[in-house]
Structure 1
C-alpha cells in the first residue's frame, strides 16, 4: 500500500470520534467482519489508527478506498463544512430528463479529465437520491492534494447542487463545466444561500420548511381579547384576511418541513430601513434596499418579520442572484418597515 494512502487513512480515523469508529468502519465495508472484531476500540487512538492502517495494508487499500472512507466521514459529519447552493438551468427549459447514474459518472469524469489529468474523482450514492462527489485536485505536474478536496452533493432529477469548495478557486470553472456536462444543463450560477447545515439548505430549496414560527413580543391574551371586543367587525375581518394572505405566502415560500438553519442570505426589498446603526448589511437604492444577513438564525428572523407585518419577505429565490458578500457581516437586528419584497 502506498505511504500516501496509509497516512490519509490514519488521519481520517483520527478525525472520527472514538464512539463512532466501529460504526463508520463497518459502513465502509472494506475490512472483513473478522478483521473488525480484532480491532481494540478502547486503546489509545493513535495506536488504533495504526492498527486500522495495518489491516488496510493487508487488504491492499488504494486511494479509491481511502477516498470512499472520507466521503462516509463527511456524509456523517456534513455540518462541519460550509455549503453553497448552486442553481442550474437548461436553455429549452425541459426539466424532465431521465437520470442515469452510470452515464452521469462517465460524463463527469470524462469532462473533468480532459481539462486536468491529475485529479481523483470518487462517487457515492445514498438512499435519499443524493450523489456525493469528491474531487481532489492536482496540477499538470503535481499529484492531487487529498487533504483539500471539493465536495459536490447533487440530487438526481433536480437542478440544484450543493458544493463545499476546496481552497483552489482556479478549479471551480472546471468543476462547473464537468457538472453541466454530466447533468445536461447549460448554465450554473450561485444562489445567495450558504450554511454549514446542509439539510437546512435542502429544506429551503426543496420547500420543506416549517410554518410554526412565534412572532416577536406577543401581547398578553387578556389585552388582545379586550382590543378585539372594541374593534370594528370590518377591521377584524380585514385583519384576518391580511393574516391569511401572509400565511399563504409564507407557506408557498417556506414549505412545510422543519425550519432551516440559514447562516447567509441576501434579499432585495422595496422598503424603508430604520436603525442606521444596525450591524446587518443594508444598502438603499432607487429600487428599494438590499439586506445581507449573516445571522445563524436568518430564516427565523426573516419569517418572524413577515408574520409581524413588517414585510412580505420571500426566501425561496430559485433563480439565484449575485456573487454575495466578500466579507461576512456581523450579527444584529434589522428594522424593515412596510414593504413587499422581491428576492434576488
Structure 2
C-alpha cells in the first residue's frame, strides 16, 4: 500500500505506529506471545530480546520500536488486527449472508488468489480510499478486513468491517457495522469475486461465529454433541421431573413422554449452537366467520416481523415444549381433529 497523498512518510510512520500500539494494547498479556508468533512479523530473536515481564505500557513501547525498525506498513498492522479479532471473534456480532447462482448454472472452479484480486479491485474501483487485508484460515476460509474511507478521507482503521468467507460455499459471515452504506458495495464485491449472482442477508445473527457456521453448514451434531449416545432416552432430562409422583394420571405421563420424545427428535440432547438473534417474517390473510369488519374485508395479507433474542436462543426454544409454553404441529392437528 503506497503513501496516502495527504501524508508525508514521517506522518505515515506515526499513523502506523499508533495503529500497532492500539492493537497490541488490546491483547491480553496471557495471549501476547501466541498472538505475536501468529503474526509472524517479528523474528524469534526479536521476540526473545523483549522482556515480557515489564509493565504492559513499557512492553508495548518496545514492541512498537521493533516494528518501526522493520518499517511496518498499514497492511502489517491490519494483519495483526485480524489475528487479534480471530482470537476474540465473540466480541463482534456476526450476520450471515447467503449467495445464489442462476437456476441451472454450473458451479465454477474456485481460485482463492483470483478471488482476492477480484474482490480488492472491485472495492478500490468503487471507492478511492479503502484498504483490504486478507488472512487465510482453516477449512478453506479467508478472513477479510476492510477499512473504509471516502473519496476525500483516508480509511478509518479503527472501524473496519470483517468478513469470513468459506470458499466453495455460498455463505459469508460479516461483522455488524454502523457503516450500513458499505454493505451493498461489499455484497457486490463478494458475489462478483466468488462468481455468484445474488446475495441476501439471512434472518439470524450471533456473537458466536462458530455456532453460526455450525448452523448453516449443519454441523451441530458433530461440533456440539457432547452427550453419551448410549444413554437411554428415558434417563435424559429435558427439564421434566423424571421421578414423577405415581399418582399422576396415565394420560399426563403419556403426554410428557410424547413431548420429551418430540423435543429429543428435533433438538437432540446435546448443547445447541449459540444463537442470540433471529427474526421471522409472517404473511397471512385474516379469516373470520363473522360478517363485516375491517380486517375481514382486507384484500392485502397481514405482514409482520417477529424478532427473538436470548443469550442462547436455541436452548431457550428447546425447553418451550417441555415447560408447557408451546405445542408441536402434531399436537395441534390432534386437537383440531377433536
Normalization by structure 2: what TM-score? 0.76
In structure 2, C-alpha distance between the alignment counterparts of 1:220 and 1:245, rounded to whole Å: 16
Measured after TM superposition, the shift of residue 263 of structure 1 is 1.3
Q: Distance in 1 between matches of 2:263 and 2:54?
A: 58
1-structure distance, mates of 2:142, 2:270:
22
Alpha-carbon distance in 2 for matches of 1:142, 1:13: 25
User: Residues 298 and 231 of structure 1: is their aligned pair in 2 closer, same or farther, counting only changes over 3 Å?
Assistant: closer
The change in CA–CA distance for 1:301 and 1:99 in structure 2 (over 3 A counts) is: same
Structure 1 residue ranges without an equivalent (≥5):
272-284, 314-336
Given that residues 207 and 257 in structure 1 are in contact (C-alpha distance below 8 angstroms), is that contact kept between their aligned partners in structure 2? no
Q: Does 1:114 align with 2:125?
A: yes
Aligned residue number for residue 112 of structure 2? 101
**Aligned residues of 1:208 and 1:258 also touching (Cα < 8 A):** no
For the pair shown, which has the larger CA radius of gyration, 1 or 2? Answer: 2
1:12 matched to 2:34: no
Indicate how the Cα distance of structure 1 residues 270 and 134 shifts in structure 2: closer, same or farther if over 3 A, else same: closer
Any conservation in 2 of the 1:247–1:307 contact (CA below 8 Å)? no
> Which whole-Å deviations, capped at 9, do the CAs of 1:219-241 have from their partners, x for residues lacking one?
34243x6658x569xx95x9877
Partner of 2:101: 90
Confirm or deny that 1:65 pairs with 2:76. yes
Total equivalences in the alignment: 294
Query: Residue 307 of structure 2 is aligned with which of 287, 292, 295?
Result: 292
- Structure 2 residue runs of 5 or longer lacking an equivalent are 1-11, 228-235, 285-299
Q: CA RMSD in A?
A: 3.3
1:155 aligns with 2:166: yes
Question: SS of 1:107's equivalent?
Answer: helix
Q: Determine the structure 2 residue equivalent to 1:265.
A: 278
Maintained 8 Å contact 1:112/1:174: yes
Distance 2:203 2:237 in 1: 25
Per-residue CA shift, 1:46-98, capped at 9, x if unaligned? 22111111101111111111011000000011111111111111112657443
Tell me which of 308, 317, 322 is aligned to 1:302: 317
Distance (Å, rounded) in 2 between the aligned partners of 1:305 and 1:52: 52
The structure 2 residue matched to 1:221, chosen from 243, 267, 272, is: 243
SS of the counterpart of 2:173?
strand
* 1:186-335 alignment runs, 5 A limit: 186-209=197-220, 210=224, 214-216=237-239, 218-223=240-245, 230=250, 247-250=264-267, 258-267=271-280, 291-306=306-321, 310-312=326-328
TM-score (norm 1): 0.75
Shift of 1:16: 0.3
Residues of 2 paired with 1:95 and 1:298: CA distance?
Answer: 37
8 Å contact 1:203–1:257 — kept in the other structure?
A: no
Check the 8 A contact 1:117/1:140 in 2, yes or no: yes
